[in-house]
Amino acid sequence: SRTSDLKGGTISRNRQIAIRILNGKDRSPKLDVVLLNAGTILYVSGKTKSIVEGTRLAKQALYSRSASKLLRQLVKLSHDSN
- 56 CB-side CA count, 13 A: 7
Q: Name the DSSP class of 5.
A: G
Are 25 and 17 in contact by the 8 Å Cβ rule? The answer is: no
Using one digit for the tens of pLDDT, what is the confidence trace for 29-67? Answer: 999 999 999 999 999 999 999 999 999 999 998 888 888
Map 50-78 to HEC letters.
CHHHHHHHHHHHHHCCHHHHHHHHHHHHH
pLDDT tens digits for range 2-23: 888 888 889 999 999 999 998 8
